[in-house]
Amino acid sequence: MSTILDVAKLAGVSRSTVSRVISGNGVVKSETRDKILHAIENLNYSPSYFAQGIKTGKTKMLAMLIPDYSNLYYGEMYRGIEQVALENGYMVMICNTDKSSTRERIYAEELRKREVDGIIYNTYKRNKDNIDYFTKLSKQMPVIFMDYIDDKDIDVPYVLSEGFESSKKAARYLVSKGKRRIGYIRVPPYISVVQHRYEGYKQGLIESGIEPDEELVYQCPDNEVGKTHLDVGFEGALFLMNKPNPPDAIMTSTDIMAVGAIKYLNGAGYKIPGDVSVVGFDDIALATIVEPSLTTISQPTRKIGEVAARILLAKINGENDIEDQIIFEPEFIVRGSTD
Amino acid sequence: MSTILDVAKLAGVSRSTVSRVISGNGVVKSETRDKILHAIENLNYSPSYFAQGIKTGKTKMLAMLIPDYSNLYYGEMYRGIEQVALENGYMVMICNTDKSSTRERIYAEELRKREVDGIIYNTYKRNKDNIDYFTKLSKQMPVIFMDYIDDKDIDVPYVLSEGFESSKKAARYLVSKGKRRIGYIRVPPYISVVQHRYEGYKQGLIESGIEPDEELVYQCPDNEVGKTHLDVGFEGALFLMNKPNPPDAIMTSTDIMAVGAIKYLNGAGYKIPGDVSVVGFDDIALATIVEPSLTTISQPTRKIGEVAARILLAKINGENDIEDQIIFEPEFIVRGSTD
DNA sequence: TTGAAAGCGGTACCAA
DNA sequence: TTGGTACCGCTTTCAA
């Protein structure tokens, strides 16, 4: 690998001048610039990220914390992030926290040491320590949350899609289809984003003249290690369908849970949507793969990733007066699991 | 952030001594070491990766090139890699090449510039330029291929699982189940690993006294941009089932293609496995989610990732006399799509 | 518009 | 067993 000195020699200038043209700071006569550009070309030179970083403090590296690699929701988000990152000379590291708050912290520490320029924080569950930690971190470096923090005292950047209205709409739709006993499978209310979806479901029932029935809500037990949303969906459906008065429709917090529910229902011989309708949330690719295809609420997931990345990059570049709390409105999509 | 100098001052020693304890090179009296360790603790000091890297040339960073983020096969492999990496103070960057040879090159260039310590190379298709490029690269830095290179003149490290025997076994199994017209859906023979699977399928038929019939083989057209294995599987099944003499079983190069085929077959009203059996390859999580669950050939995917990472780390640490061409034998797993 | 030179935060050689 | 010091490759004043 050639160094800046090699380039300088070949171009017959000093290191400083070469540095000016690669960093884009300062003025260089265009002839000189051309000479240097040629030298760079000839030597196939590229500046060392180490040496650059040691002065600028920039790694040109973003990190994305995700709780579960196997949920392709994050994969879709990643594509949006990756695209924006690449366009701007950044790379992004995926950090799989495996739904563990501890691993979130461990990764965050490691990322701090590695001085990544920004962090995209997807969490699975909230504990107060981690909220505090990442909130504090967000004051020191660019961090963007992909979830609400309900605490009004905490002000952090975020990008997410709202779930209340769309879930309400879905619930009302099920009622319009003649369903009356509409169940819900959910994770514990750690995650605000997901909590809003649940509230929308309840409100939809109320507005349709149906009293929400706690009996029809399955909330997965706390702290089940190694359990995926898929498992939760399966178990939730199992639990609800074996009640004395089972539901005739099931809504879920996420698509992957809905897929788990469908898996159970198919296996147990229920007709979907005849016996039971199913509605998910997210619109991951899997939604059109399962049989029947899944009615769901579609998030602009890729777009969410793009926007998050742009906000992060803006902050990294010192633009602090940008809009950094963005909420998307998702879209209700009807497929075979309800029609 | 405190620097090595702060630590040195607080501990009352020189930078050199501090450096010795953090890098682990050289001998330090244990009292001195303790003093330094305390100082490090107190200052919450961690060495700058930049400054370390500039001297050592090590980024403590691995990269994993994958052709398709949405294929969870790579997700599973990643988990194995991540685990080994983390244990050794490394982080791994996922680079999604989107099945594009050009993007493979672009990423490789970028990784070279960023001086990652090692590369795990998963490709989708082979073009000679890229084989040459990565082969050459593997002489300059640790690179591990997750695929065969059939060219005997090319000697590179690899980890993979062999597909010949297991595919043969699967074909024979289908015959034992009374199937006679066994089709195959495959990608073009770019990828040697996948080619071996196909050869095994043919050999299995031959050994069962059935003449392989080209008519029953669907090979996805070259260079279909934006098409996933899922699409290929769907189209392959569509193509094969609409022949005058359709198959009564279908084998595929990958699970995700098999899932696409199942999607088509379900939609078109075929009974699986009654009308058509389906066999995949990989054993990704999706295999047990689809209806019916997928008979497949199970790779020790996570293990493959672990082994690849270990080889890479060994090479990074200068151990060049290690076994670096590893082949796993996968396992045939019978599920609902054949029984 | 350009060059000289002082760092940035480490590592590693050499001498003590 | 330790300290002094010359780098590593680049950025960034400051002067010319």
Measured from the Cβ of residue A4, the count of other Cβ atoms closer than 10 Å reads 19
Residue type at position B326: I
Cα A332 from Cα A287, distance rounded (Å): 13
In tens, the pLDDT along A272-308 reads 999 999 999 999 989 998 989 999 999 999 999 999 9
What type of residue is B145? F
In one-letter notation, the amino acid at residue A190 is Y
Is the separation of the CB atoms in A278 and A262 below 8 Å? yes
DSSP designation for B282: B
Query: How far is it between the farthest Cα atoms of chain A?
Result: 87
Residue to mutate among B1, B4, B50, B61, with most A CBs inside 10 A, is: B50
Between CA B148 and C1' D8 the distance (Å) reads 39
Q: How confident is the model at residue B311 (pLDDT cuts 50, 70, 90)?
A: very high
Predicted pLDDT at A264:
95
pLDDT tier, B229 (very low <50, low <70, confident <90, very high otherwise): confident
Report chain B's mean pLDDT, rounded to a whole number: 92
A77 Cβ neighbours under 8 A, 6+ residues apart:
A64, A122, A146, A301, A302, A304, A305, A308
pLDDT of A239-269, one tens digit each? 999 999 999 999 999 999 999 999 999 999 9
- Look at B75 and A78 and tell me if their CB atoms are within 8 Å: no
Q: Do A54 and B69 touch (CB under 8 A)?
A: no
If one compares B149 and A87, the residue with the highest pLDDT of the two is A87
Q: Is the pLDDT of residue A327 over 70?
A: yes
DSSP state of B248: S
Question: pLDDT tens, B257-282?
Answer: 999 999 999 999 999 999 999 999 99
Give the best residue of B91, B104, B231, B263 to mutate against chain A (max A CB count within 10 A).
Answer: B91
Q: What is the pLDDT of residues A122-157, one digit of tens each?
A: 988 778 899 899 999 999 999 999 987 777 778 899
Residue window 10-29, chain B: list those with CB within 8 Å of chain A. Answer: none
Residue with tokens 């058509």: B276
Question: A49 to each of A90, A114, B111, B113, B125, how far by Cα in Å?
Answer: 12, 13, 11, 7, 31
Compute the count of residue pairs across chains A and B with CB atoms less than 8 Å apart: 83
- Are B4-56 and B164-300 the same fold in CATH? no
CB-nearest to A285 from B70, B75, B79 is: B70
Strand extents, DSSP E, A86-216: 91-96, 118-121, 143-145, 158-161, 182-186
CATH topology assigned to domain B164-300: Rossmann fold (3.40.50)
CA distances from A276 to A176, A272, B306 (A): 14, 5, 43
Q: Give me the A residues in range 39-68 that sit within 7 A (CB) of strand C.
A: 51, 54-55
Amino acid at B193: V
Which A residues, 196 through 235, put their C-beta within 8 Å of a C-beta on chain B? Answer: 230
CATH architecture assignment, domain B4-56: Orthogonal Bundle (1.10)
**Which is more confident, B123 or A224?**
B123
Length of chain B: 339
Q: How many other C-beta atoms are found inside a 10 Å radius of the C-beta of residue A23?
A: 12
Is A234 a residue whose pLDDT tops 90?
Answer: yes
Question: Token pair for residue A303?
Answer: 């777009």
* Cross-chain Cβ contact B266/A70 below 8 Å: no
**Structure confidence at residue A23 (pLDDT):** 83
pTM equals: 0.90
DSSP structural state of residue A176: H
Count the Cβ atoms, other than its own, within 10 Å of residue A137.
17
Pick the CATH number of A61-161+301-328 from 3.20.20.70, 3.90.280.10, 1.10.3720.10, 3.40.50.2300: 3.40.50.2300
Tens digit of pLDDT for each residue in A11-37? Answer: 999 999 999 998 887 788 988 999 999
> Touching check for B72 and chain A: CB below 8 Å?
yes
Hey, what amino acid is at B184? Y
3-state secondary structure (DSSP) of residue B42: helix
- Closest-CA distance of chain B to residue A66, Å: 13
Strand C bases near protein CB (under 7 Å) are 1-5, 7-13
Structural domain boundaries of chain A?
4-56, 61-161+301-328, 164-300
Residue B25 pLDDT:
79
Q: CA-CA distance, A8 to A36, in Å (whole number)?
A: 7
* Structure confidence at residue A224 as a pLDDT band (50, 70, 90): low
pLDDT value of position B256: 93
Give the integer Cα–Cα distance in Å for A86 and B100.
15
Amino acid in the structure at residue A156:
V
Judge whether B6 and B48 are in contact, CB under 8 Å.
Answer: no
Q: Which nucleotide is nearest to B56 (CA to C1')?
A: C11
* pLDDT above 90 (res A223): no
Q: Tell me which residues of chain A, numbers 111 to 170, contact chain B at a CB-CB cutoff of 8 Å.
A: 113-115
Long-range contacts of B24-32 (CB under 8 A, 24+ apart): none
Q: Locate tokens 């209700």: which residue? A: A332
The crossing angle, in degrees rounded to 10, of helices A30-43 and A4-11 is 120
Kindly calculate the radius of gyration of chain B based on its CA atoms and give it in whole angstroms. 25
Residue A185 has what pLDDT? 96
A6/C1 CA-to-C1' distance in Å: 21
CB of B314 under 7 A from strand C? no
A185-196 tens-digit pLDDT: 998 777 677 889
SS3 A8: helix
Provide the residue type at A26 as one letter: G
Asked whether the beta carbons of B76 and B82 are under 8 A apart, the reply is no
CB contact under 8 A, A93 and B93: yes
- Strand C-proximal residues of B, range 54-93, CB below 7 A, are 54-56
* DSSP letter (8 states) at residue A29: -
Mean pLDDT score across all residues of chain A: 92
Q: Does B83 touch chain A (CB under 8 A)?
A: no
Alpha carbon of residue B96 to chain centroid: 12
**Strand C close to A192 by CB, under 7 A:** no
In this complex, the answer to whether residue A288 has its CB under 7 A from any atom of chain D, a nucleic strand, is no
| A332 pLDDT above the threshold of 70 | yes
Does B52 contact strand C, using a CB cutoff of 7 Å? yes
Contact (CB<8Å) A290/B285: no
Residue A262: the pLDDT is 95
DSSP designation for B264: H
Structure tokens given for B146: 């997750």
Chain B residue whose CA is closest to A336: B267
Contact status, residue B241 vs residue B269, Cβ threshold 8 Å: no
**Model confidence pLDDT, tens digit, residues B150-204:** 777 788 999 999 999 999 999 999 999 999 999 999 987 776 778 899 999 999 9
In the predicted structure, residue A115 carries a pLDDT above the cut 80: yes
> What one-character DSSP code corresponds to residue A302?
H
Cβ atoms within 10 Å, residue B136:
10
**How far are the Cα atoms of A70, A108, A261, A284, A318 from residue A229, in angstroms, in the given order?**
10, 24, 10, 13, 38
